Every structure is written in structure tokens, then in C-alpha cells.
Amino acid sequence: MSLAPLLSVGDGTTDSAPTWHYAAWVALDLRLLLFSVLFAGLVSAALTATLVKSERRLDYLAAWVVIFFAMLVATVAVMNLVSAHPVFTVESFFPFP
């Protein structure tokens, strides 16, 4: 059994590269991104100091990293979806050769 029909891309051939390539211009608001990183860092430090009771520093670091990324994703999501100040926006899509 050949996998050639399963591996066809775009124009129906199996040898060529896909013919669809796209790129986008993304605009970042660096001030809001810096605020989001600092906010997530401070909140995660406060939550780690409050919630984690351990003798090992690795436990504090692991908890801080997990809480930091969760807070960063939540902060960026709130800024992009709820408020009128997006951290990043996609300006335009264009074909890429």
C-alpha cells in the first residue's frame, strides 16, 4: 500500500512543495507587553509566597514559573479580548512566495 495519495498537498501532486504560503504583519504594543510581564511576575511572586510552604527552593521556582505563565496568558487574553487595548494585533495577511 502506498502513502502517496495521502501525502498530496495543495495542487494534487505528491512531489512539489505546497503552493500556499502566507505571512502577516503583527503589531506589538511594547508598553502593554512590559506591563503584562511585570504584572504577571509580581502577582505570581505574591501567590507563590502565600501559597507554597516548602523547604526547597525548586518548589518555589516551579510554582512561580507555572503561575507566571498562567497569569501572563490570562493578562494578555483579557487585554486582547475584553479591553480595547490589545497587546498584539494582526495588521494584515499577505501571500508569501
Establish if 90 belongs to a structural domain.
Answer: no
Residue 56's domain comprises: 52-84
Residue range 16-42: mean pLDDT, rounded: 85
Establish if 11 belongs to a structural domain.
Answer: no
Which of 80, 68, 63, 66 has its CA nearest to residue 40?
68
Establish if 56 belongs to a structural domain.
Answer: yes
Report field, pTM of the whole predicted structure over 0.85:
no
Tens digits of per-residue pLDDT, 33-83? 999 999 999 999 999 999 999 889 999 999 999 999 999 999 999 998 888
- How many distinct structural domains can be found in the chain? 1
Establish if 63 belongs to a structural domain.
Answer: yes
DSSP 27-94: EE-HHHHHHHHHHHHHHHHHHHHHH---S-HHHHHHHHHHHHHHHHHHHHHIIIIISS--SEEEEEEE
Establish if 45 belongs to a structural domain.
Answer: no
Establish if 33 belongs to a structural domain.
Answer: no
Establish if 65 belongs to a structural domain.
Answer: yes
Which of 64, 37, 38, 36 has its CA nearest to residue 49?
64
Establish if 10 belongs to a structural domain.
Answer: no
